[in-house]
């Protein structure tokens, strides 16, 4: 029993150190990219590597916890092991879900409620200068993929005049913590930039509000500046915005 106990402690220590290395790698990858110290490819490679390291740490810690029945020394050491295990499991599951989302999402990054006549960027164009993804809408092939994957992404009809709808749109954009670039009620246009949580990718948004009878018709477009697939991010963003626009 003593030998098994010592082995569990050894495995737990290895697991904690491996977890610490993974935490440093993920922080360096994300922080390095956001601070412009790393380009996307090495940062992404580092991030993927950190996920593998975290999974290995989780394996060591699980074996140690099972073998040691959750108690392998001082309460400080046990607490450290549990914290490392929980964080390792959390990050591993999060990335498995992210990979799964990438598998089921179409390889597109430009989503709009109007694929026939999508809203156009105006004031955001200078901010997209040099971005890998051009501001123009990609065309019919992307529209077909979007309609197949996200049929619920449709224009929103509101029973309020365009000026009032624009005020609601601006409030929703700020609630979603977008950086509002332009609010032009006379043109029925709002432009904003959304920043993703981890790597801080910039996605651009344009909202178009037009008169529709006694009310308004709201269209929105969200486009990533780089990357082939947005892993469903732009569609989720549009759904969230339209939900906030509902009276």
* pLDDT band, residue 70 (cuts 50/70/90): low
Of 202, 194, 199, nearest to 237 by C-alpha is 194
Report d(CA 213, CA 193) in Å as an integer.
Answer: 30
Specify the pairing of strand 110-112 against strand 215-224: antiparallel
Report d(CA 236, CA 199) in Å as an integer.
Answer: 18
In the predicted structure, residue 3 carries a pLDDT above the cut 60: no
* pLDDT tens per residue, range 174-221: 999 999 999 999 999 999 999 998 788 999 999 999 999 999 999 999
Mean pLDDT value of segment 7-26: 88
What phi-psi label fits residue 231: left (phi over 0), alpha (psi between -120 and 50 degrees) or beta?
Answer: left
Q: What is the dihedral sign for C-alpha 91, 96, 101, 102?
A: positive
* pLDDT band, residue 9 (cuts 50/70/90): confident
Q: Which residue has the tokens 């529709």?
A: 212
In the predicted structure, residue 1 carries a pLDDT above the cut 50: no
Residue 138 exposure: Cα atoms within 13 Å on the Cβ side = 18
pLDDT of residue 187: 96
Percent of all residues in the chain with a pLDDT value above 70, rounded to a whole number? 93
Q: What's the token pair of residue 188?
A: 């029925």
Secondary structure of 77-106 as H, E, C letters = HHHHHHHHHHHHHHHHHHHHHHHHHHHHCC
Q: Residue 15's Cα: distance from chain center in Å?
A: 29
* pLDDT band, residue 11 (cuts 50/70/90): confident
Q: How many CB atoms lie within 10 A of CB 243?
A: 10
* pLDDT tens per residue, range 120-154: 999 999 999 999 999 999 999 999 999 999 999 99
- For residue 130, the SS3 value is coil
Q: How many CB atoms lie within 10 A of CB 11?
A: 22
Helix runs in the chain, H state only = 2-34, 40-68, 75-104, 140-149, 162-175, 233-245
Report d(CA 61, CA 229) in Å as an integer.
Answer: 34
Of 141, 116, 115, nearest to 222 by C-alpha is 115
Q: What's the token pair of residue 24?
A: 């440093």
Residue 142 exposure: Cα atoms within 13 Å on the Cβ side = 19
Output the average pLDDT for the chain. 89
Decide if 169 contacts 208 (C-beta within 8 A). no
* pLDDT band, residue 4 (cuts 50/70/90): low
Mean pLDDT value of segment 228-247: 94
In the predicted structure, residue 104 carries a pLDDT above the cut 80: no
End-to-end alpha-carbon separation of the chain, Å?
A: 65
pLDDT of residue 199: 84
pLDDT of residue 12: 85
């Amino acid at each position: 029993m003593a030998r098994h106990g010592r082995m569990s402690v050894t495995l737990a220590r290895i697991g904690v150190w491996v977890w610490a290395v993974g935490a440093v790698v993920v922080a360096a990858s994300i922080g390095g990219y956001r601070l412009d110290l790393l380009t996307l490819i090495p940062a992404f490679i580092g991030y993927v590597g950190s996920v593998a390291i975290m999974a290995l740490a989780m394996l060591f810690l699980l074996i140690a916890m099972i073998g040691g029945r959750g108690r392998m020394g001082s309460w400080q050491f046990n607490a450290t092991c549990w914290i490392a295990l929980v964080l390792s499991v959390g990050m591993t599951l999060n990335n498995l879900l992210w990979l799964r989302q990438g598998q089921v999402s179409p390889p597109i990054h430009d989503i709009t409620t109007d694929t026939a006549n999508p809203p156009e960027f105006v004031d955001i164009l200078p901010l997209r200068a040099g971005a890998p993804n051009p501001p123009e809408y990609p065309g019919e092939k992307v529209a077909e993929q979007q309609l197949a994957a996200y049929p619920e992404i449709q224009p929103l009809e509101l029973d309020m005049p365009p000026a009032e709808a624009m005020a609601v749109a601006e409030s929703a954009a700020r609630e979603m913590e977008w950086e509002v670039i332009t609010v032009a009620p006379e043109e029925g246009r709002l432009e904003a930039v959304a920043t993703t949580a981890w790597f801080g990718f910039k996605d651009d948004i344009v909202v178009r509000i037009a008169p529709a009878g006694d009310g308004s018709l709201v269209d929105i477009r969200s486009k990533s500046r780089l990357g082939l697939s947005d892993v469903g991010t732009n569609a989720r963003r549009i759904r969230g915005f339209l939900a906030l626009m509902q009276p």
